[in-house]
Amino acid sequence: MTYSKKDITKALETITAPGEGKSLVESGAVKNIVTFEKEIIVDVTISNPTLQAKKKIEVEIIKAIHEHVDQKADVKVNVTAVAPPVSPLKPEKPKVPGIQNIIAIASGKGGVGKSTITANMAVSLQKMGFKVGILDADVYGPSIHLMFDVATARPLSVEIDGRSKMQPVESYGVKILSLGFFTDANQAVIWRGAMASKALNQMIFDAHWGELDFLLIDLPPGTGDIHLSIVQAVPVTGAVIVSTPQNIALADAKKGVAMFQQENINVPVLGIVENMSYFTPAELPENKYYIFGKDGAKNLAEDIETSFLGEVPLVQSIREAGDVGHPVALQENTPLENAFSTITKNTLSQLVKRNKDLPPTEIVRITTMSGCSTN
């Protein structure tokens, strides 16, 4: 008795090709299937050359054939690693089905409140009626899962069209995937550039985000290799830069803007948000103390001809809300809710402005490829 190649192909269709969101068969990874009596030989190519990746795909193939064809089949898998051809200057950016706009939130300097702004912008967008997701790509210290009170949650695996996909965790109506879900909070995890962008790719392409109006990506602070690989891997519609008014933060924010404007990145910068603009004590709400300087980010936005998207004061309740996992933008009719709603509206109008001459469904493709200027 010999097995039918059709049955074997069907079994292999249940496996998702790593980082592609397509089945192993659909992605062209299965090169050959040979059957002889009880023996099945599958030749497959993957792009990840590590032993671990090869072993994983081998185990998945054997499991799928045993499950869908015959438990007793003698399966042999030959895995070859082939690096995909990449253009060094303009790598092809794949579209993400169902996701209309991807906004990267970045800062040059660490600790300026990038994750706080991301979390609250997501809540504001959700309250405006948009479908929103957050991808926490902060390799140095993911915190979105803490800010949304889902620190102990783990994304489930769901079966979509016969393929296994990662289901984002939902909190306050916002869908979340975070590197924090996959690391131990007490362990320092060092994500190297290639590893981080691969994990991120999987969180985008192998996840079941469903229909999203906006996917916000909380990038790590800085402008290093990791940022380049992350931003090149996904079709980012626009970037928002967060800074405090302090000179040292502004200098780094400027580098962040320059990074997005590089020819091989070419992501339109939607504008700058100033965080910790001033301190207002709860008991003296009219008093403003400009601890980190005044109007620094506003002036920088003017200097580099990008938009100023708004300011957020330094307020104890913002820090407390972040710590307990209940973003302040969830409040109703408070000055802080209004501050985040203003920033969100300004960001949206910049997004619309960037794309005003383009049909909405083409936003991602055209803006990332047309070399839009930032004014």
Ligand X SMILES: Nc1ncnc2c1ncn2[C@@H]1O[C@H](COP(=O)(O)OP(=O)(O)OP(=O)(O)O)[C@@H](O)[C@H]1O
Interacting residue ranges for ligand X, rule: CB under 6 A: 107, 110-116, 138, 141, 143, 221, 275-276, 312, 314-315, 318-319, 322
The phi and psi torsions of 216 (rounded to 5 degrees) equal: -95, 130
Least distance (Å) between residue 353 CB and ligand X: 26
Strand partners, 314: 279
Q: Which is nearer to ligand X, 64 or 226 (CB)?
A: 226
CB neighbours of 314 closer than 8 A, spacing ≥ 6?
276, 277, 278, 279, 280, 291
Q: Which is nearer to ligand X, 314 or 363 (CB)?
A: 314
Q: Which is nearer to ligand X, 112 or 230 (CB)?
A: 112
Rounded CA-CA distance 258/223 in Å is 9
Known binding positions for ATP: 108-115
Residue 47, number of CB atoms within 10 A of its CB: 16
Strand partners, 217: 104, 135
Strand partners, 238: 103
Contact between 113 and 76 under an 8 Å Cβ cutoff? The reply is: no
Q: What is the largest CA-CA distance in the chain?
A: 85
Least distance (Å) between residue 141 CB and ligand X: 5
How are the residues of the chain apportioned to helix, strand and coil, as percentages rounded to the nearest 5?
35, 25, 40
Least distance (Å) between residue 161 CB and ligand X: 36
Q: Which of 240, 193, 201 is nearest to 346 (CA)?
A: 240
Least distance (Å) between residue 169 CB and ligand X: 19
Q: Which is nearer to ligand X, 146 or 372 (CB)?
A: 146
Known binding positions: 108-115
Residue bearing tokens 């997701």: 133
Least distance (Å) between residue 220 CB and ligand X: 7
Q: Which is nearer to ligand X, 114 or 175 (CB)?
A: 114
Least distance (Å) between residue 228 CB and ligand X: 18
Q: Which is nearer to ligand X, 115 or 266 (CB)?
A: 115
Q: Which is nearer to ligand X, 42 or 330 (CB)?
A: 330
Least distance (Å) between residue 44 CB and ligand X: 38
Please state the three-class secondary structure of 232-300 as a single string: HHCCCCEEEEEECCCHHHHHHHHHHHHHHHCCCCCCCEEEEEEEEEEECCCCCCCCCECCCCCCHHHHH
According to DSSP, the β-strands at 212-218 and 132-136 are parallel
